[in-house]
Amino acid sequence: MLRKPIKNVRRGAAAVEFALCAPIFFLFVFALFEFTWTNVLRHTADNAAYEAARRVMVPGATAAEATAEANRILRIIGARGASVTITPSAIQPDTRSVTVQVAIPMNRNGLISPRFMRDQTLTSSSTLRTERAETRVGS
């Protein structure tokens, strides 16, 4: 007696393999998106801190101008809940250096779901010497 060859012995194997592998694959894809977005935020925070420090280092600049510059750069990518701190808060003619710190809470800035970096705050700072003329005592 001749038997017909059995073609569909592994009929459900592909579905089972997909069910086992797909969650792991999508976890890696979502993690890739999340960490790439974190890198974009980190780079933008670095740039915002540097550009704000450059804005405030020239004579006559104020801390409010530096804060506005940092927030302008952060708005480009849509960073939410970021805080900008200028030290010293009052820029005087004898101020020798200025530090700008940018903090971005990751729980408000997740791309898909803030699962991997949920409780972290991304911070960046930049310190530059000011371009103010030195005042000499007794000249």
- pLDDT single digits (tens) 16-68: 889 999 999 998 998 888 888 889 999 999 999 999 999 998 888 888 999 99
Q: Do 103 and 121 touch, CB atoms closer than 8 A?
A: yes
C-alpha 43/C-alpha 73 separation (Å) is 11
Alpha-carbon dihedral 74, 106, 85, 127, rounded to 10 degrees: -80
- pLDDT single digits (tens) 62-81: 889 999 999 999 999 999 99
Sign of the alpha-carbon dihedral angle for 49, 87, 128, 121: negative
Separation of CA 84 from chain center: 13
Domain ranges, ordered by start, for the chain: 13-129
Q: In what order do the strands lie in the sheet with 83-87?
A: 83-87, 97-105, 121-129
C-alpha 33/C-alpha 57 separation (Å) is 36
Q: What is the pTM of this model?
A: 0.76
Task: Give the pLDDT score at 83.
Answer: 94
Structure tokens at 108: 């408000």
